[in-house]
A and B are shown apart, each in its own frame.
Chain A
Amino acid sequence: MAQADLMDFDKALELYEPVLGFEVHVELNTATKMFCSCANEFGQGANTNTCPTCLGLPGGLPQVNRKAIESSIRLGLALDCTIAESSRFARKNYFYPDTAKNFQTSQYDEPIAFDGALTIELAGGRQVRVEIERAHMEEDAGKLTHKGGATGRIQGADYSLVDYNRGGVPLVEIVTRMIEGGEADSPEIARTYVAAIREIVKALGVSNARMEEGNVRCDANVSLRPRGSQILGTRTETKNVNSLRSVERAVRHEIQRQAALLAAGGTITQETRHWHEDTGTTSAGRPKSDADDYRYFPEPDLVPVAPSREWVEELRSTLPEPPAARRKRLQGDWGFADLEFQDVVNSDLLDAVEGTVAAGASAQSARKWWTGEIARLANAAGTPAESLVAPAQVAALITLIDDGTLTDRLARQVLEGVIAGEGTPAEVVDKRGLAVVSDDGALVAAIDEALAAQPDVLAKIRDGKVQAAGAVIGAVMKAMRGQADAARVRELVLERAGSAQ
């Protein structure tokens, strides 16, 4: 694809004011789909989780998942939205092979949640209030695979295959109002906003929130308005940007691309655009046109959702502490420096450290182990750190270090054993015989032997040259194959040297 001309970012900002908007789709982690009792999981064989309803067979009818409604209300509340007294599903009519009924059941003029806001904090400390227009419920489409052609993309494919396992999976679509005044921070706002949504749905437990698996997907709207103008520019909608980094890059790219086009006297086409991770560019998709007539009307197969205020309040009482507030509290509690804390947050280890501290470890030790050795092993294994070992086990490990049973070096071996499934840290210590040798008798024998073998050193120690003890300590540690506490060895060496006659 031809590389579009881009304007320098700073130059673009001099000439134009970016206006942003986001539509984030969150896939809920309910057990079943939105409108049928098929399992909400689609890693299995194609078309295994389908029924007359989600396959759109003649005669199929939808039944609303209560848990999905609850999750949506909780998400709405977490976004400070008003929960509708009465909301309704509608049909959005359009033909597409991944949409089994050829309409998407979605909420239109009566969303379950509306008029919310979320304040995000940029790295430099700037606070940006993002207003939420609505959060509405809808269903996901099936999955298409394009065959033939060179790229595996839809363009140039000979035919396509459809798997409806994902069809009918519950989604909440969160729509912001226009975000103005983002200026040069706009790309970072995009990234931070999506990260904040991700963090919230994860804290609520309503979504698995893995962007790489499409649990959270962002459509980014960008338009530019010339400095001094009140008139909004034409916007483009970059669809399905599926990582935080890409969201940031896509917004930056659209600002630079649109600026170049406008400055050259061109016009922006209102269209959807596709994001290409590999090239870091967007390309034109389908133009929005008058032909987009979705013929929305209330879904006649479903009845209104009218959550009682009691139910809403009950759900409100289940909300977790807002992630931003929680971060502030934890950093204070733990006394971490900004960099230390950022390290934990960026590694997605807040829960892990918190759990480890709750299980009795000191915050610094917990941080050190999680962001150090455990993160290294997780990285090597290509899995999230939290999936390797439970916080309680890490806390137990730290306790063994603190009480002198293990040295750091031994603790690393114990950790490997725990990860390998050999049991709790205490059990691994037992099985592998890794404990620090604390039997002074064995140490004393080794020390006496070492002192006898190095009479010159002994003499020096007796002369008060304490640093000479290092040679004996080294020999003893070697003899004990590292399974001794160096501090204790030093103590005993000095003691034995004093009493050796």
Chain B
Amino acid sequence: MTDLIHLSAATLAGLLADGSVSSVEATRAHLDHIDAVDTDVHAFLHVATDAALAAAAAIDARRAGGESLAPLAGVPIAIKDVLATADMPSTAGSRILEGWIPPYDATVVRKLREAGLVPLGKTNMDEFAMGSSTEHSAYGPTRNPWDLGRIPGGSGGGSAAAVSAFEAPLALGSDTGGSIRQPAAVTGSVGVKPTYGGVSRYGAIALASSLDQVGPVSRSVLDAAMLHDVIGGHDPLDATSLPDIWPSMTEAARAGLADGALRGVKVGVIKELNGDGFQSGVKQRFDEALAILAGAGAEISEVSAPNFEYAVSAYYLILPAEASSNLARFDSVRFGMRVNPGSGPLTSERVMAATRDAGFGPEVKRRIILGTYALSAGYYDAYYGSAQKVRTLIQRDFDAAFSKVDVLVSPSAPTTAFKFGEKLADPMAMYLNDITTIPANLAGVPGMGLPIGLAPEDGLPVGLQVMAPARQDARLYTFGAALEKLLEAKWGHTLLSEAPPLTPTEMFATKEGAV
């Protein structure tokens, strides 16, 4: 019975399909485990116990009635709290949205439900997805299942922790500058940021509209692919959604499991994302992964992307600018918190300002002020305008690189999971943490993060990022599944099976918010 939570989504889906396990059993097993460990991990902001069991029972009934269901029907899933859900609070990790239940579902959530997946609840995140550690959640941080004293990455620390702590086989994340791939790296899980426009943003609470993408979070490449197939595709409600007909990511992942999948694949190592500032164990595991790839017939070469050094700067102009405008709607009129000023006249203007002061955390305020500055008259050209030009240069770097190689690789993050509080005081240090993942968002290309081992110096997971040209998401799944298979063959097990067990009896000393 306990084993239900350790199964991959693909395996669990098989057992559900052949009737050897019911969705209610699988769902209850995950809910029980959440009950047992989430006080420590704090991956969830909301657990929808009754609704999940009801949804599971409905799937079981449909299956019993002979209906043919979608491949992942009955499989539980955790949903990042950035997504609007009509039956669960959707707070984006912010106090200003505490308790807000949207009157609608995000398109991706609607697709999940239509495919019969069972939403378990909403996962924790940095407030409005601003952060790389989940320390900026208004509801207290999520803890890394590998070491409860360390960050699970961010902003999607909750989704990554939920899958790596076996609280859910699958989760949805959102990635604006690495919020899926970086948490995957530090928790030993898999995460994919699809091509910009590949997955609908309708109902995803916007951070930076031109960078945000929703994507799958899982424990295996195949599982991510199966989830990608559920959520991907054109959505007329999102004007930036690509009208393309997409190939099956599941098929692409399965192709990667075939022998010889890596033979002749040209792999480019990005020179600028493999130098100083990377932890030694990260570099070591990354180099080993390259050797494994070469051993499997891949052709490894170094490629240069000279403009990547401007990526973090461009990102921290574009993101705050768009965010300052996207977050203007939090004004205490139509939804969310309202706070009256402590003194003085009660006017709309003053109530809005008091609400936004009380409702937003320090990082959100910092970025709104920065973005307001970057857009203000007289500075637009120097900041926002210049940053959009850097985007062009970064796209050109990608174009040049992809004219020589099939995929690009780098470590997913410069370091393994850091300790709580380590980078909180220095925003720039925190921002530089996303140096590896940001270029893909600026250029719109897809990227995947997957585990490649533990750093010898701290025993914590290390991730590899693989990127493909825009629209070539399938290539990531073939490559990722092939590499994952080679690594697991070498280890003899999955990386996550090395994670220290989380026991229900373990009491973590730190109270929420005390870090």
Contacts and interface: CB of A to CB of B under 8 A. Distances in A.
B375 A295 contact: yes
Interface string B316-330: 000001101100111
A102 B102 contact: no
A305 B201 CA distance: 20
Contact of B102 (A58, A63, A95, A100): A58
Interface string A267-300: 0000000000000000000000000010111001
A98 to B, nearest CB: 9
A300 B334 CA distance: 23
Interface in A84-140: 91, 93, 95, 97, 100-103
A297 B384 contact: yes
Contacts of A103: 325, 328
A384 interface: no
A372 interface: no
A332 interface: no
A297 B321 contact: yes
Contact of A56 (B92, B237, B324, B329): B329
A181 to B, nearest CB: 33
Interface in A50-67: 51-52, 55-64
A463 interface: no
B138 interface: no
B90 interface: yes
Contacts of B239: 61-64, 301-303
B104 A162 contact: no
Contacts of A95: 328, 331, 349, 352
B236 interface: yes
B334 A55 contact: yes
A52 B376 contact: no
A438 interface: no
A239 B449 CA distance: 55
B333 interface: yes
Interface in B62-96: 83-84, 90, 92
A300 B207 CA distance: 11
B210 A58 contact: no
Contacts of A293: 376-377
Contacts of A347: none
A100 B375 CA distance: 20
Contacts of A60: 202
B103 interface: yes
B103 A58 contact: no
B438 to A, nearest CB: 16
B344 to A, nearest CB: 16
Interface in B273-329: 321-322, 324-325, 328-329
B206 A59 contact: yes
Contact of A58 (B205, B333, B348): B205
B205 A59 contact: yes
A125 to B, nearest CB: 45
B322 A300 contact: yes
Main secondary structure of the interface of A (DSSP, over half): loop
A101 B329 contact: yes
A97 B240 contact: no
A426 to B, nearest CB: 51
B203 interface: yes
A300 B324 CA distance: 13
A293 B378 CA distance: 10
Interface string B338-355: 000000000011001000
Contact of B209 (A57, A164, A300): A300
Interface string A424-445: 0000000000000000000000
Nearest to A162: B333
Nearest to B90: A58
Interface residues of B, number: 44
A63 B237 contact: yes
Interface in B214-239: 236-239
B376 A61 contact: no
Contact of B328 (A63, A102, A302, A303): A102
Nearest to A58: B205
B353 to A, nearest CB: 9
B334 A59 contact: no
B375 A59 contact: no
B114 to A, nearest CB: 18
Contact of A59 (B203, B210, B324): B203
Interface in A315-371: none
A160 interface: yes
B325 A295 contact: yes
A95 B90 CA distance: 24
A361 to B, nearest CB: 49
B420 interface: no
Interface in B385-434: none
Contacts of A302: 239-240
Contact of B331 (A62, A102, A295): A102
B236 to A, nearest CB: 7
Contact of A301 (B106, B209, B236): B209
Contact of B335 (A58, A63, A162): A58
Contact of B203 (A52, A63, A97, A100): A52
A95 B349 CA distance: 8
Given A162-B333, A300-B322, A301-B209, A93 B202 contact: no
Contacts of B348: 97, 160
B204 interface: yes
Nearest to A94: B328
Interface in A140-169: 160, 162, 164
A97 B205 CA distance: 20
B104 to A, nearest CB: 5
A300 B209 CA distance: 6
A4 B140 CA distance: 60
A169 B201 CA distance: 23
Given A93-B325, A297-B384, A302-B239, A59 B106 contact: yes
B328 A52 contact: no
A31 B224 CA distance: 41
A61 B326 CA distance: 11
Given A100-B334, A102-B331, A302-B239, A58 B92 contact: yes
A101 B328 contact: yes
A62 B240 CA distance: 10
A404 B55 CA distance: 79
B8 interface: no
A162 B328 CA distance: 17
B164 interface: no
Contacts of B322: 297, 300
A62 B202 CA distance: 9
Contacts of B335: 57-58
Contacts of B328: 93, 95, 101-103
A49 to B, nearest CB: 14
B26 interface: no
A61 B375 contact: no
8 contacts: A56-B334, A58-B90, A58-B97, A58-B100, A58-B330, A103-B328, A295-B372, A300-B210
Interface of A: 51-52, 55-64, 91, 93, 95, 97, 100-103, 160, 162, 164, 293, 295-297, 300-303
Given A295-B372, A303-B240, 17 more contacts: A57-B102, A58-B84, A58-B92, A58-B329, A59-B104, A60-B202, A61-B201, A61-B239, A62-B239, A95-B349, A100-B334, A102-B328, A103-B328, A295-B375, A295-B380, A296-B375, A297-B325
The 6 lowest CB-CB distance pairs between A and B, nearest first, are A102-B328, A295-B375, A300-B209, A300-B210, A59-B203, A58-B205
